[in-house]
Amino acid sequence: MFKTKRINLIVVGLFLFLSTQAQAALSPISLAIIPPVQFPPSDFSVTGLRTSLLWGHHRDVYGFDFGVVGNMTQQRFLGLGVSGVFNYTRGMTTILGLQAAGIANINVQQTSVYGVQIALGLNSNTANAKVVGLQLALGNYSPFTNIYGLQAGIYNKALEVYGFQIGLINSAKSLHGIQIGLLNFNETGLFAVAPFLNIGF
């Protein structure tokens, strides 16, 4: 009886594993010029290294992602991403170390950054997110993001800040630290708007 149950569990587990593999084939490496001129095709998950002469587009990426122009991920990204122009993830994003782009980092779903998120133009995290470290760009639009560290740019927007916001305009729903800028907004603080300096506890 015990052996039969164990065999049944193994068969079910094998079936689930094969079903998952059928839905998302895996490749340890990806080379892309521009979709669809890339190997493997866009419905694959890359688990290792993706390099793109212009940009690549895949289902998931786990590992290192380097694009001359950009990196596009349909569902989940976990790792380190660097591009000359943009990083764009439609699914869940977990940055380990660095997400850097010449123009913009755009993350649509839940995002976690452990390290540095940097762009010349824009960092955009539009769903629930957290940045543990540094977020740096001319514009940081992260209305549902908790910042643990430093958010710096001309315009900074976050949900909660535990640390610093430095820029011309800083905005947080809740501040537990210091804002330095021309105008500083702290919705739940003693001073909802303050010029030059705002402190929250």
3-state per-residue secondary structure call for 135-188: EECCEEECCCEEEEEEEECCEEEEEEEEEEEECCEEEEEEEEEEEEEEEEEECC
pLDDT at 69: 97
Cα gap 96→168, rounded to integer Å: 29
pLDDT at 18: 38
Low-confidence residues in the chain, pLDDT < 50: 2-3, 6-22
Coil, strand or helix: which one is 95? strand
pLDDT at 7: 44
The answer to whether 38 touches 31, Cβ cutoff 8 Å, is yes
pLDDT at 191: 85
The 10s digit of each residue's pLDDT in 89-115 is 999 999 999 999 999 999 999 999 999
- The structure's pTM equals 0.85
pLDDT at 190: 84
